[in-house]
Amino acid sequence: MSRKVGIISYALEGFHGEVKMSSDELVFTAVRAALRKAGIGRDSIDAVAVSSVDAYDGITISNGLTAPAAGGYEKDATRIQGGGLSAILSAYASILSGSAELAVVAGGDAVQYDDAVISNASYDVHFNRGSGINNVQSCALVATSLLNDGIATENDFALVAAKNYKAGMTNRHAHIKSGYTYKDVISSPMVSWPLRSLEIAPVSKGAAALVLASEKKAKELAANPLWITGIAGGSNTYSGSWRDLLEMKGLRKAIGTAYDMAGVRNPIADIDVFELYAPAAPLELAYYEPLGLCERGNASTLLKNGIKSAGREIEVHPYGIKVHDREIAVNPSGGALCNNPGNCGGIYRAASAMEYLEKHDHARRGVVQDSDINLGFMGETYHVMILEKETR
């Protein structure tokens, strides 16, 4: 029985350019690439965890299509509807429980959908759905809370969006590589106040796959596996979360548990890279404090003075004062604004964090944060994972 679980391989397919494959073809391509990279075939894997939401695939029981494509034929296969990281947790538990030695986690997005309509369909039919509330409007409510509490300004929202767009320019997998500037963002049309169109994530198409392994298998198959040293979830109430949208108690629970598992005491000193799920730009600012990057109310200052992106100083703001003596990258992939696949987003973010850790010798530990807020706030769930280069 394994004491630790490692991620030994990842592969991404699509996202940039025109994606013409169906979801099973996308998943098959990504999983085959991930298995080849790990030097194993489909026969070696024991379990498959697919991440998807039926509505994003436009059919019911959509894992029927993708589970065999992910290598699940005649294997132990499941499907988790979260955001991607919840499927990674499923495979992680499967390996630690002794049920599997090698597991594939995969998801794919191929169907064109109206994310606002799907989001609205996730709200309570009697009290909320009729108001037309959706993902964008609920993210706008969070952004409004940031404004009301004096934590950030509309300028900060545009700045954090521009930071992500700049990082996305050099991410070969990114869907949006346009590198929109602060000026582009602040002058883009208002969609749902205070959110502007360039502060809202697109709907992206592609697939992501990971291969998870027990400690023994990971050491056998990979020269430098990345170990999952912390992974946890949390949830928020549907009705209760209206009271203070910035409380994000479910996110705090997931962060607290994952940090404890990994022995993270001071995230500023202990973490080198964060990949965060912010389908609306202001959410990144709302996460800084729960993640332990700053005190409540200081997200704006941190953005302007301390955060670096993809290893470079952010140039989107004139101040550029450095407050931390070390480099912490937040969304070096460009985040959800540059790539937002609804089914496999969390797996994509994990792969992005892995790529950053692989490419940067100094970087040792990364945090992947994920949630299902693509469907909107209220009743949302969160997951957080810590990845590390070597055994602790």
Backbone angles phi, psi at 379, to 5 degrees: 75, 20
Work out how close the CB of 382 gets to another protein at its nearest, in angstroms, rounded to a whole number: 9
Length of the chain: 392
Q: Which residues pair with 104 in a beta bridge?
A: 48, 211
Subset of 359-388 contacting another protein (CB under 8 A): 372, 375, 378-381, 383
Of 68 and 279, CB closest to another protein: 68
Q: Which residues contact 199 (CB under 8 A, 6 or more apart)?
A: 157, 158, 161, 185, 188, 280, 281, 282, 337
Subset of 125-154 contacting another protein (CB under 8 A): 125
Work out how close the CB of 100 gets to another protein at its nearest, in angstroms, rounded to a whole number: 9
Q: How do 5-14 and 206-214 pair as beta strands? A: antiparallel
Of 74 and 325, CB closest to another protein: 74
Place of tokens 């796959």: 209
Q: Which residues contact 185 (CB under 8 A, 6 or more apart)?
A: 157, 158, 161, 162, 165, 196, 198, 199, 281
Interface with another protein by CB under 8 A: which range of 27-35, 123-131, 174-182, 309-317? 123-131
Tokens of 360: 């940067």
Tokens of 17: 């350019």
Of 78 and 170, CB closest to another protein: 78
Of 19 and 329, CB closest to another protein: 19
Work out how close the CB of 198 gets to another protein at its nearest, in angstroms, rounded to a whole number: 26
Instruction: Tell me how far apart the alpha carbons of residues 365 and 389 are, in angstroms, rounded to a whole number.
Output: 7
Subset of 208-247 contacting another protein (CB under 8 A): 232-240
Q: Residue 96, interface with another protein (CB under 8 A)?
A: yes
Subset of 28-87 contacting another protein (CB under 8 A): 48, 53-55, 58-65, 67-69, 72-82, 86
Q: Are 332 and 167 in contact (CB under 8 A)?
A: yes
- Please name which of 51, 160, 171 lies closest in space to residue 103, comparing C-alpha atoms: 51
Instruction: Tell me how far apart the alpha carbons of residues 63 and 208 are, in angstroms, rounded to a whole number.
Output: 15
Helix 85-96 to helix 345-359 angle (10° resolution) is 80
Of 22 and 188, CB closest to another protein: 22
Work out how close the CB of 218 gets to another protein at its nearest, in angstroms, rounded to a whole number: 16
Work out how close the CB of 95 gets to another protein at its nearest, in angstroms, rounded to a whole number: 8
Work out how close the CB of 241 gets to another protein at its nearest, in angstroms, rounded to a whole number: 9
Q: Which residues contact 144 (CB under 8 A, 6 or more apart)?
A: 193, 194
**List 1, 190, 269, 323, residue binding another protein (CB under 8 A):** 1
Work out how close the CB of 55 gets to another protein at its nearest, in angstroms, rounded to a whole number: 5
Of 70 and 281, CB closest to another protein: 70
Of 234 and 332, CB closest to another protein: 234
Give the total of residues touching another protein (CB under 8 A). 67
Coil/strand/helix, residue 42: helix
- The site for another protein (CB under 8 A) is made up of 1, 24, 48, 53-55, 58-65, 67-69, 72-82, 86, 89-90, 92-99, 118-119, 121-125, 232-240, 249-250, 252-254, 372, 375, 378-381, 383
